[in-house]
Amino acid sequence: MRMRPEGDRADLMLARLGESGLKLTPQRIAIVRELADDSSHPTAQELFDRLAPAMPTMSFATVYNTLDALARCNLIEARALAPGATRFDPNVEPHHHAVCDRCGCVADVAPRPRSTSVDASLPDGFAVRAVEQIFRGTCQRCRDADGGD
């Protein structure tokens, strides 16, 4: 699901990243453009594998460092949604996730408006900033694969 018109998000991220003092090399620009409108919550390795054919001199460290800089500027969220590598999410608005137990795919789940109440006992004095839930189960594709032919 795209929250903003295409292109807009990448431009905003690049502008803010530049303001943070990071030099906007062609490789870093390509990484930002690849992630900005990606709702699949890719890992650093997945982004590297996608970009490497077009940028053979790019290192994995460049991908990782760029993602780290974006996360520190609050332009993306680093998320631990399932065992394994951290996934990177260009959607920084509070939202929920549906995670497939089998293939590990992650989909955004839009929160209901004003759903800030929590069905849990919070520690005393804890102020809630956002409520983000993870729905675990089996995605449609894996269920279809189950259904025989």
**Phi, psi for 100 (deg, rounded to 5):** -80, 130
Nearer to Zn ion, 12 or 55 (CB): 12
Nearer to Zn ion, 12 or 111 (CB): 111
Task: Return all residues near 44 (Cβ < 8 A) that are at least 6 apart.
Answer: 60, 63, 64, 67, 85, 86, 88
Closest CA to 76 of 41, 116, 111, 127: 41
Smallest gap from residue 130 Cβ to Zn ion (A): 12
Q: Give contact residues for Zn ion (rule: CB under 5 A).
A: 89, 91, 100, 102-103, 108, 139, 142
Smallest gap from residue 76 Cβ to Zn ion (A): 10
Nearer to Zn ion, 2 or 102 (CB): 102
